[in-house]
Amino acid sequence: MSNLLIIDTSAEVCTVALQSQRGRSIRQSPEPRTHGRFLLPAVQQVVEEQELQLGNLDAIAIVSGPGSFTGLRIGIGVVQGLAAALEVPITLLSSLEWLACSAFSRYGSPVVTVCREAREQEFYLGTYRQLVDDQVERVGEEAVVQGAQIALPALLPAPDEWAAVGDGWNDWNRVPSSLSDHFTIVDPALTADVESLCRLANRKLLQKCFVAPEEALPSYLKTNLHYRTAL
């Protein structure tokens, strides 16, 4: 097994995991939005717990978004620096696909549509299909959409079960029947779990979905970032 460092700074809680032949070590920040001071010490802790050194890492996986703009910039910056110094590749993970993987594990539904609240009445949207051997296929593109623009891809044949997860589905009353009639499972409260994150990272590692440090960029899913910032 490769020595794979896995980092998520896209959410309020920062997650750091290390997988090796010795097992898995995990650290999660006890307080939200403390990524800047938590991340590097946590990396050192999981490396030492596995009785390794940073130089023993084979690759680094980072959740590149979508998610907290500040968190993504912190995580990407740290991973770029580590990967360049250690000369190891980076694999980028989608926070939407991660949540879909958690839904696959929880419900076994063959298709999952993730809808998460973004900012200012916008939503992150992505649909995924589970294939054989725990493989996952994205159906269409991930996107940022207005609530009225939420749409589902045409799937043939139509799945027997279709799950809708993510806090974007909280206000179910505003979801038109043309969408809601497709879903057999609705769970706005489902959270992405670390086990699913590690499986996703391992799958991308086996597929050699690597980028160089300079190519590791946050995924905001839109280029025109006009959002207002808090004072």
Averaged pLDDT of the chain:
92
Structure tokens given for 204 = 């991308």
Looking at the domain 4-94+193-215, which fold is it? Nucleotidyltransferase; domain 5 (3.30.420)
- Summarised one tens digit per residue, pLDDT across range 28-77 is 999 988 999 999 999 999 999 999 999 999 999 999 999 999 999 999 99
Domain ranges of the chain: 4-94+193-215, 95-187
Question: Using CA atoms, how far apart are residues 102 and 86, in angstroms rounded to an integer?
Answer: 31
Residue 190 or 155, more confident: 190
Same fold: 4-94+193-215 with 95-187 = yes
* The CATH number of the domain covering residues in 95-187: 3.30.420.40
Asked whether the CA dihedral 134, 153, 167, 16 is positive or negative, the reply is positive
pTM: 0.93
* Amino acid, res. 58: D
